């Protein structure tokens, strides 16, 4: 597999997203190979030929993860890409509801230690 150059990755990302995300612009200033690493990570996951999910579902999973992690730039870029993939308002709303439920469940799971300690 041919590894792209940083310039090829930047051109591809700019074409796909309209501009290089600011975080990658900053990373590129330190080491342009960060662009290649980002592209290779995407190729190994979202863009992998063996990915059992379609592109839209994969991007929705990525968006859910970004919402969970609180990455505003990723949330914006992934939402832009999903709009190009025709995500509906209803799909976006349910994605957020699922993430919200997962957060609530995680809080309850984390609180178990407090509950158990209180009752002991």
pLDDT (tens digit per residue) in 69-89: 999 999 999 999 999 999 999
Contact at 8 Å (CB) between 40 and 7?
Answer: no
Question: CA angle 92-10-74, nearest 5°?
Answer: 25
CA dihedral 63, 65, 69, 71 (to 10 degrees): -20
How much is the pLDDT for 1?
A: 65
Q: In the chain, what percentage of residues exceed pLDDT 70?
A: 99
pLDDT band of 119, cuts 50, 70, 90: confident
Structural contact between residues 46 and 58, judged by C-beta atoms closer than 8 angstroms: yes
């Amino acid at each position: 597999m041919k590894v792209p150059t940083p310039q090829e990755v930047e051109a591809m990302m700019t074409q796909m997203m309209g501009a290089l995300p600011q975080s990658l612009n900053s990373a590129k200033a330190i080491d342009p190979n960060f662009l290649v690493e980002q592209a290779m990570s995407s190729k190994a996951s979202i863009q992998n030929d063996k990915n059992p999910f379609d592109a839209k579902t994969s991007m929705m999973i990525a968006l859910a993860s970004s919402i969970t992690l609180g990455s505003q730039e990723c949330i914006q870029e992934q939402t832009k890409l999903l709009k190009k993939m025709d995500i509906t308002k209803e799909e976006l709303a349910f994605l957020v509801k699922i993430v919200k439920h997962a957060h609530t469940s995680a809080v309850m799971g984390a609180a178990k230690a407090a509950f158990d300690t209180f009752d002991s």
